[in-house]
Chain A
Amino acid sequence: MIEFDRVTVTYAEATSPVLRDVSLRIEEGELALVVGRTGVGKSTLLGAVNGLVPHFTGGRLAGRVRVDGRDTSTHPPRDLADVVGVVGQDPLSGFVTDTVEEELAYGMEQLAVAPEVMRKRVEETLDLLGIAELRHRALHELSGGQQQRVAIGSVLTAHPRVLVLDEPTSALDPTAAEEVLAAVTRLVHDLGVTVVLAEHRLERVVQYADRVVEVHHDGTVTSGAPDRMLASSAVAPPVVELGRFAGWSPLPLSVRDARRLAVPLRDRIALRPVPDPPRSVVRTRGATALSARRIVVRYGDVTAVRQVDLDLAAGEVTALMGRNGSGKSSLLWAVQGTGARQGGTVDVGGSDPGSLSPARARRLVGLVPQTPTDLLYLDTVADECAQADRESSGASAVGARALLDRLAPGVPDGMHPRDLSEGQRLALVLAVQLAAAPAVVLLDEPTRGLDYQGKRSLIGIIDRLAAEGRSVLVATHDVEFVAASADRVVVMADGDVVADGPVGEVIGASPAFAPQVSKILAPVGVLTMDQVRLALPEAV
């Protein structure tokens, strides 16, 4: 169906190719999962399938890409629209019309599908993806999971034979991600659509894949059966790590398979005490650093946060979880003092950051927002650091540059912040905020776009912040990240706090939020691979 024949892609002004000599065949009806570290060219590989690379992005593509017999060098993306459907990370940015129904019809209009056929296909697609009740709704008022399903539906109506999905679930909470992935697998199984999917959080999708395509650092690509590929790949979900650790063969890819293989391991691990997660300093719950009482945030008639109480202790890492739109971000912004707050009080060291000037509030509570790039506007890393030092006027003994070196060593001074990797950029923004030496650090969705290694170094950074005695609150959807980094979890739903307690108790028992290792080894209260390794130091 899709054929790459010795494809090499080099972007303008790049010294080395992004993809090097790629030869690849994806057969009809396969679900191919594209894996690799951040920035290795996964998106380039996906873009090459429908000709966006190089027709839209520029650069040079040597070799041939054929889709359903059509050569992308002679067919620009619009001429492949009836064969390949593309869905990106942010569905909202790809919407052309205003309502669900119009969006579903848009692609067909361009392909000059007859009006009667259009009506029929729109109805079918609405049912196929379970979005029939949304048909008249405006696109911007849908939830993230609904938007992503509409985006998939809008390319499906053209009846493409190939569906290309570039990290479709990266912005979604676990439940919404399940919805989208369930829809995708249904397409593969019921309609035989060929799907090419890139995804960071492999634990969500690897069990559905027929083929894994790994993009390596040097731009080369290998592909093969999932269990064979993952046995040695640079990125691996926890279930695979556990399988590798225990030496299971064939490698299990789903929790179900792993649980069946895990019986002996579970028995052995159950005999030992559950080890604490590895930390640089043993964390003890210190004095209360921030105390928020009866926080209320309203937008018009919508109440985003309903009288929430929250206490954060020094040296403790708290994770804030909950559905998209459950009020996590609103709570963070309200507590920091910059965001709207219609009621309640916040106490940080005797003063309320909401009543202080922004410059003084950030010395009490530092917040890294969901899109950290909003904070950056200068041309070089050095300028940003110098500016941050001026803004904090000596609040911290260490300058922003020194902080950055501690968080992410080796970021060159002269780089433009936009050219940094996601992880480096996050570290830069964190350094800018830490220059004000706040006692409380709030992070809003920091793991977006980070691969496993990126998350691992972020966990290290958070661990160090806690060791310095700061209180850290992380709003996130990523359960594996929470399991590995947090001491305590607060779960919000519809503006209320519905659960608040130690990590093991809150997420260990939850069907939606439990990390994979915990699901496999339940009822043993182990959450992460690190704990498994500590518990069984002698194994393999």
Chain B
Amino acid sequence: MTVGSAARSPRGPGWRIPRALHPVAWWLWAISLAVATTAVTNPVLLLLLLGVLAVVVVNRRTDAPWARAFRYYLGLALTVVAVRVVFLAVFGGDVTTQGVHTLFTLPRLPLPTWAAGLRLGGAVTVEGTLGALYAGMRLGCLICCLGAANSLANPKRALRVLPGALYELGVAVVVSLSVAPQLVESVQRVRRARKLRGGPTSGFHALRGIAIPVLEDALDRSLRLAAAMDSRGYGRSAGTSPGSRRLTAGLLVAGMCGLCLGAYGLLDGSVAAPAGIPALAAGAVLCTVGLALGGRRVVRSQYRPDPWKAAEWGVVLCGLVPAVVLLARLATHPAGLNPSTDPLVWPTLPVVPALAILVAGLAAVIAPPPVRSTHRDTGRAAPPAHGSATAGAPSGSNRQVAA
């Protein structure tokens, strides 16, 4: 699969210069996969997608702290699935499900007549549970797409892509990105210190003893970081008037309102037509004008800007393929993508969508190997994972799940 680049590289196959892929490419790839996910409830396809995400993340993330975020998103996704299934069992979410295969029956609580449509307890059917499981898995996959983007693209580099006008927002984001990991460390430190006083380290009583020193610490750190950013010239404005600043803000707010209204109109067919595409277009125009106006304010330059090369195009294309294919199949062959739960049907593995999802996994090969600090220390050693991406796929995804 690396033939294209290997042919160009002088040192034989598998030798590529490690570099960071443009963060926007990773985000587009992940968003495309998220779009593809929305078309699917087939658990086999969703698991395949999750596997693809895991393989790419494991092979192409760096060893920075934020790159380890994927496992937390995975945990969140599992929680979402569990919550959804449990809630359906207890509250019966969808009372119209006329499942015939009863799994077990919970004691039913009678509810007053005004709560019609709600159910507490009662029969839990296989059909209803599977439906909740599938929908939960779809949501979980969406969360994991987000997680993949967050662990593949350096958040601080991604922030640089933000237009100049949103630059002030950047202070808040940079401060929170830097202070949040330190917060974890400071919770551990303070908990340990609480033990020195023999106080409790868990439970409500411990909360105050731990929260107050930690919050004080976080506040101090944030202030120091903000002061450091200020003294290093962050947000130097090149002679702008308060009037133009207000104009930018106004345009942006109006534009965002238009975008929201438009998106709502598009997704909900029952809303009047002008709320759809026209509102979306107007919002986009207002935002663009606002950003362009605001962007002139801040003058800054970029050290080693991330280049946009063939690999970036490749990764974006890899993401677009499943999105386009799955959306198209949804119109023509919906059954394979969304297996029926009532009547119960075994989910199948439709070949074309499965191949399309596997194409997204090519990103693990197309993207250049990431720059990991351990590799830097050993000189120019080739990254070990590279070249065996597909062979290592099962173990890679297992490791993720175990983590």
Contact = CB atoms under 8 A, between A and B. Distances in A.
B156 interface: yes
A420 B60 CA distance: 50
Contacts of A101: 303-304
Interface in B136-185: 154, 156, 174, 178
A333 B301 CA distance: 47
Contact of B228 (A84, A86, A418): A86
B103 interface: no
B206 to A, nearest CB: 10
Give the one of B193, B299, B302 with max A CB within 10 A: B193
Contact of B224 (A94, A374, A432): A94
B196 A115 contact: no
A491 B65 CA distance: 33
A374 B198 contact: no
A84 to B, nearest CB: 7
A437 B78 CA distance: 49
B245 to A, nearest CB: 15
B208 A377 contact: yes
B212 interface: yes
A496 interface: no
A143 interface: no
Given A96-B228, A112-B301, A138-B373, A391 B198 contact: yes
B227 A96 contact: no
Contacts of B156: 97-98
B196 A358 contact: yes
Interface stretch (A102-110, A188-196, A477-485): A102-110
A78 B231 contact: yes
A155 B193 contact: no
Contact of A96 (B64, B174, B371): B174
B302 A115 contact: yes
B236 A77 contact: no
Interface string A444-456: 0000000000000
Give the interface size bracket for B toward A: 35 or more
Contacts of B197: 358, 362, 375, 388, 391, 432-433
Contacts of A90: 224
A79 interface: yes
Contacts of B228: 86, 88, 93-96
A505 B64 CA distance: 45
B278 interface: no
B300 A112 contact: yes
A94 B192 contact: no
Contacts of A55: 230
B289 interface: no
B401 interface: no
Contacts of A81: 231-233, 236
B209 interface: yes
Nearest to B230: A77
B234 A110 contact: yes
Chain A facing B: main interface SS: helix
A536 B383 CA distance: 68
B192 to A, nearest CB: 6
A106 B232 contact: yes
A22 interface: no
Interface string A476-512: 0000000000000000000000000000000000000
Contact of B213 (A86, A115, A137, A374): A374
A369 interface: yes
Interface string A356-380: 0111111000110101011111000
Given A78-B236, A375-B196, A109 B302 contact: yes
Nearest to B190: A374
Contact of B236 (A79, A102, A122): A79
A247 B13 CA distance: 77
Contacts of A207: none
A271 interface: no
Nearest to A140: B65
A165 to B, nearest CB: 12
Given A105-B303, A358-B198, A375-B196, A111 B154 contact: no
A338 B373 contact: no
Interface in A373-401: 373-377, 388, 391-392
Contacts of A528: none
Nearest to A418: B216
Nearest to A373: B213
A154 B302 CA distance: 15
B225 interface: yes
Contacts of B235: 78, 110
A80 B209 CA distance: 41
Contact of B196 (A109, A336, A392): A336
Nearest to A81: B233
A109 B303 contact: yes
Nearest first, the 9 closest Cβ-Cβ pairs linking A and B are A81-B233, A359-B198, A105-B303, A94-B228, A110-B233, A374-B193, A358-B195, A377-B212, A107-B232
Interface of A: 50, 52, 55-56, 76-82, 84-86, 88, 90, 93-98, 101-102, 105-115, 118-119, 122, 136-138, 140-141, 154-155, 158, 333, 336, 338-339, 357-362, 366-367, 369, 371, 373-377, 388, 391-392, 418, 432-433, 436
Given A96-B232, A110-B300, A392-B198, 4 more contacts: A82-B233, A109-B301, A110-B236, A375-B194
29 contacts: A52-B227, A77-B231, A78-B232, A78-B233, A78-B236, A85-B231, A86-B232, A93-B221, A93-B224, A93-B225, A94-B228, A96-B174, A96-B228, A105-B303, A106-B232, A110-B232, A110-B235, A110-B236, A115-B305, A158-B233, A358-B199, A361-B198, A362-B196, A362-B197, A367-B196, A375-B193, A375-B194, A375-B196, A375-B213
